[in-house]
Chain A
Amino acid sequence: MLFHEIYGNYFNAVAQILGEAVRGELTEKKIYEIIDSKAFAESSLNIPQALNSGEWPLLEENLETPLLNEPQMPLTTLQKRWMKALLADPRIRLFDVPAEGLEEVEPLYRPGAIVYFDQYADGDPFEDEAYITNFRTALQALRENQKLQVDFTGGKGGNHNWQCTPLRMEYSLKDDKFRLIVCRGGEERVINVARINRCSLMEEKASRPQSIARPKRRVLLELRNERNALERAMLHFSHLEKETTKLACAEDANVDAAADRYRITLWYRSEDETELLIRVLSFGPMIKVLEPDSFIQLIRQRLALQKRIKRDGSS
């Protein structure tokens, strides 16, 4: 249904090459630039060869084409049906999209066809008018590279008024929340969009820093593959930068099944440490933290607290 060559990188790259040829602006260099930006690493070996050799008779040696118009493909029914389905998503209102052109198609899916069974229950109020206004203003600032004046309530209840440079709009499907990442005082700061009371564009253009250092921390884990822990952990941490090595495998006749162990290195941001800590704890004894000591101490503190609570409760 969606695995079709018309959606492929080769067709897109050739469409752009032919478009340049129709305009009379195509050069050999441009062909390679287009392929580099639109297709895959090895495509530059294949596409020019197929066009030049006459295998795909669409472009002459002198880079002229028999096409009279710049290639354009109408949207497929599948594309329209998907867009129509989005119109029923509460988050679509944040983007103010027109529904024109989608009247004739059935949505690919209807509300309720997809559920996120472990999504947090306190997601952002996507249909609240003030929220929509603030979101759109922040997005406009990002689009137009403007500074923002943001009045918001912090996590601890205090009121803040910041002049800042917006960097990104971050969304978490798990939290179902948007966070505006801004630069203030040379550092990245986070503002929950739902906590914004008011925000407005400043006249000043934003001078976005090239990059703000966001150093990552590293944690080394040892996993014991029981109760399908390997697959669960690999999926659970798959969104992080990670490296896994196998220490011993139960398939080896000399090794006991209990010794089926893996070392996993994860890289994470310091602000996510507490979250990572409880996620590691959620695997119980299947995962042991080996490094760094600071992370091990965090686990020990939780365990010590638990032991104390249990002891106090039973005494």
Chain B
Amino acid sequence: MAYSELIKDFNRIRDYMRQFYVYGFKTRDEYDAKSARSYDNERRRIESWLDAYMSFRQEPSGRVSFISIDSTEVPANPLYNAFKAKSFTANDIVLNFCILDILQPGERMGVSEITETIDEEYMSFFENPKVLDEATVRNKLNEYVKLGILISEKEGRKLLYRRSEDSVDLEQWKEALSFFSEIDPVGVIGSFLLDKMREHPGYFSFKHHYILHALESDIICTLLDAITDDCMINDKIIPYQICLSTENGRGYLLGRDMEAGRFQMYRLDKLQTVKKGAFAPQKAEFTEAAKAFTRYLWNVARGPKIEHLEMTLHIEPWENHILQRLKREGKHGVIEQVGENRYRYSIDVCSAAEMRPWLRTFIGRIEELSCSNPEVTKVFYEDLDQLYEMYEERGGDGNAVS
């Protein structure tokens, strides 16, 4: 099949984009591609979509392609382009423009009339016109009804189609769309809306901006729809909540596995396909249990029991920003002053081990650390010893870790 920069299926390209963007050190031979040509085609597509953001370097083992983006410098998420590359047939594009041109506001027509009009007033324009039969036109009309672009109405025994009403003033939404298209988990929809406009506000920028979630937009969109409508997904999971990290961009679904009879966090990047299923009448009876499941989470990990952790920090009077950090980052933990310049932070969590990266950010002021799970403090102090060793300066210039 000839190469095209458009794609029919999103799953295969999603993985390549993730690899190019997140990792970016693999050579052509290291991809698990079915064939070298498959890799070449996917790389070429991504290059075409992300033109300015693809980089290359030559290594002894081969050429490495990677996507490198400082996300504070891009006003719009370039990864959304992948969702704007869906392939289509010639009939799709011709019917799109002809149908919408015929069904101007106020017009209502049946499928036969629309088919005739296309044939007589549009295709007759061309030397080699396209022959579009009524069944093809009907399929497209019904597809557009499902998308909400058209409305079908019965008049007697005849089904008439008209354009749906659209009184949204997009111009007044322009700034909101520019903002939410970047920060909302399904902001790609906002990006589609912005594409309808000639000019976009270019004065928003975004810090700590994890743009990779864009690649899961379709998954998240289906999940949100299923959550709103209280429906199952994939025939066995009741979805409750999308849980996202602002510190690494990773996302999870909190769902109840009805076969296993328990709640679980599903990584969004591991969900290949999500299918909205039937209404789940049992959802309401587990709502409180869903809240209970997340009550003592630090991030997303569950342990066998609730663990208690205490950390005492040395904070000088002029270091109010450290206290502020504890308050804003410490979640449901409690802070109390326990002496001169000494503050104790204590918390009950499902998995204190999950807190270790955050605890390490206070290195330099930790006076005491204790946990009901001794493994947590053991690993913490072993890691600390390794750090001392790693940065130990031999020869001594006065800055050694001693």
Contacts and interface: CB of A to CB of B under 8 A. Distances in A.
How many of chain B's residues touch chain A, expressed as a range?
35 or more
Contacts of A297: 399
Given A76-B149, A173-B206, A309-B367, A282 B361 contact: yes
Contact of B176 (A92, A143, A242, A313): A92
A72 interface: yes
A102 interface: yes
A82 B188 CA distance: 10
A74 B149 contact: yes
B5 A118 contact: no
State the main secondary structure of chain B at its contact with A: mixed
A309 B86 contact: no
Interface in B325-367: 327-329, 331, 356-358, 360-361, 363-367
Interface stretch (A4-12, A23-31, A197-205): A4-12
Nearest to B166: A74
How many of chain A's residues touch chain B, expressed as a range?
35 or more
Given A2-B83, A40-B85, A80-B168, A303 B25 contact: no
A100 to B, nearest CB: 6
A78 B66 contact: no
A100 B167 CA distance: 7
B25 A169 contact: no
Contact of B192 (A7, A283, A284): A7
B168 A300 contact: no
A15 B97 contact: yes
Contact of B168 (A9, A75, A119): A75
Given A109-B227, A309-B366, A239 B210 contact: yes
Interface stretch (B32-40, B43-51, B153-161): B43-51
Given A2-B189, A9-B81, A57 B101 contact: no
A307 B123 contact: no
Contacts of B96: 6, 11
A300 B400 contact: yes
A7 B186 contact: no
B189 to A, nearest CB: 4
A98 interface: yes
Interface of B: 4-6, 10, 21-25, 47-49, 51, 55, 57, 59, 64, 66, 68-72, 81, 83-88, 90, 92-94, 96-98, 100-101, 104, 121-123, 125-130, 147-149, 163-170, 172-173, 175-176, 179-180, 183-186, 188-190, 192-193, 195-196, 201, 203-212, 217-218, 221-222, 224-225, 227-228, 241-250, 294, 297, 299-300, 314, 324, 327-329, 331, 356-358, 360-361, 363-368, 383-384, 386-388, 390-391, 393, 399-402
